[in-house]
Amino acid sequence: MSSLFSKARKRLKLAAKYVHVDPDVMEKLKSPQETLHASLMVRMDDGSLRAFNAWRCRYDDTRGPTKGGIRFYPKVNLDEVVALAFWMTFKCAVVNLPFGGAKGGVAVDSKKLSNTELERLSRAYVRALPNFIGPDRDIPAPDAYTNATVMGWMANEYASMVGHSSPAVITGKPIVLGGSLGRDDATGRGGYYVLRHIEKELRLTPKKTRVVVQGYGNAGFPCASLLHADGYRIIGLSDSNSAIYDPDGMDPHAVMEHKTKTGQISGAPTHGNCKEMSNQELLESDSDLLIPAALENQVTTENAERIKARVVLELANGPVTPLADDILNERGIIVVPDILANAGGVTVSYFEWAQNRAGYYWSLEEVHKQMRSFIEPQTKAIWGIKEEKEIDLRTAAYVLALRRIGEAVSARGTRAFFKRS
């Protein structure tokens, strides 16, 4: 089986067929710029010392300091971190942010840690990266199983290392510690803005569109809630343990209320015709719009032929594998790619970084207004490339990103320039 990173690179090679870039650009992007592996030694509550494998990858900083989340997840590994950093590089270019891409992770089941152990681990991660991160070099953020509290600990640890407050080193922090309003639902809201902006092109009508959301966390819940408010019918939802499906629909807020109280989505109130099923069964259930909002590699060659939705909105990173992508395209299913659909999170992270540096903070209305001003024009541009070149949306997004990265690389001189000198 090919690695996640090799699968990610295949999409770059495909996009390169549709845009002219200097060979230097492809040479620069074929491997990560810098990676770090560390063994984090953490004193546990029982007095024992335990080691945790940790990674950070800065993939490319041609367009600016690198940006990317940190995930605490048992199965995280170097291949996954590098692939995610690669995607972040293109995601930032798609939304035209002055950032390159990065990612980090720790192989840990954070649910099994006490809060004090989690704090020690978070601070140990920052101590392992003394010269790797920084507000002008590499700016982490939350990802799977990390949150604002973890980011607050990390920012505080960095401040103690450099001897002064430096809130711009980390984004996704608590509001009172320099976080930005609107960051909590930014990923889901960004996907919502993308979808509504090309709704007519996708031939989606709110009251006639049945929606399934796989993954009911910080991305899936906000998107489902916003779509529900606009008249979309939410018929399927899932968390990491189970899934519920009701063709008559359900209220996302009532489901989240139940999940908050009970710790699970199972048994949540619907319109009364509810079936419980597995996550895999939910992906293949009858719907018009499928929103994978959990982890990567959810739609594969094993199930792509059974996907019934007409449109797939990727709120997760890499939920559709390249070979599954080909199958969906052949079947006429439109995939709105992750590097566009879930770019709301990094966009508001950029706003937080800018606010931290300026010492001036925006209202929630301003954050939402600015997010739309970043996301909607890029969505329109990508749809235009798709139509012009007669390619799928994912390839069109990579074409736009590669064009921008290529221009930045060329601005510093390529082989053609130096050959003339």
**Active site residues per annotation:** 103
Pairing mode, strands 34-43 and 49-60: antiparallel
Residue type for 82, please?
V
Pairing mode, strands 210-214 and 275-277: unpaired
Q: First CA to last CA across the chain, in angstroms?
A: 45
| Phi, psi of 89, rounded to the nearest 5 degrees | -60, -45
Distance between CA atoms of residues 355 and 167, nearest Å:
10
DSSP state of 113: S
Q: Which of 39, 41, 79, 73 shows the shortest CA–CA distance to 57?
A: 79
Distance between CA atoms of residues 274 and 254, nearest Å:
14
Distance between CA atoms of residues 248 and 271, nearest Å:
6
Distance between CA atoms of residues 179 and 170, nearest Å:
9
- In this structure, what token pair is assigned to residue 313? 């909105």
Distance between CA atoms of residues 228 and 250, nearest Å:
9
Q: Which residues of 143-164 are buried (b: 16+ CB within 10 A; e: fewer)?
A: bbbbbbbbbbbbbbbbbeeeee
Residue 247's contacts (CB-CB under 8 Å, 6 or more residues apart) are 210, 235, 273, 286
Map tokens 């510093």 to a residue.
Answer: 412
Q: Which residues of 305-329 are buried (b: 16+ CB within 10 A; e: fewer)?
A: eebebbbbbbbbbbbbbbebbebbb
Burial tier of 263 (Cβ tally within 10 Å: 0-12, 13-18, 19+):
exposed
Distance between CA atoms of residues 311 and 290, nearest Å:
6
- Report the residue count for the chain: 421
| DSSP helix/strand/coil, 313 | strand
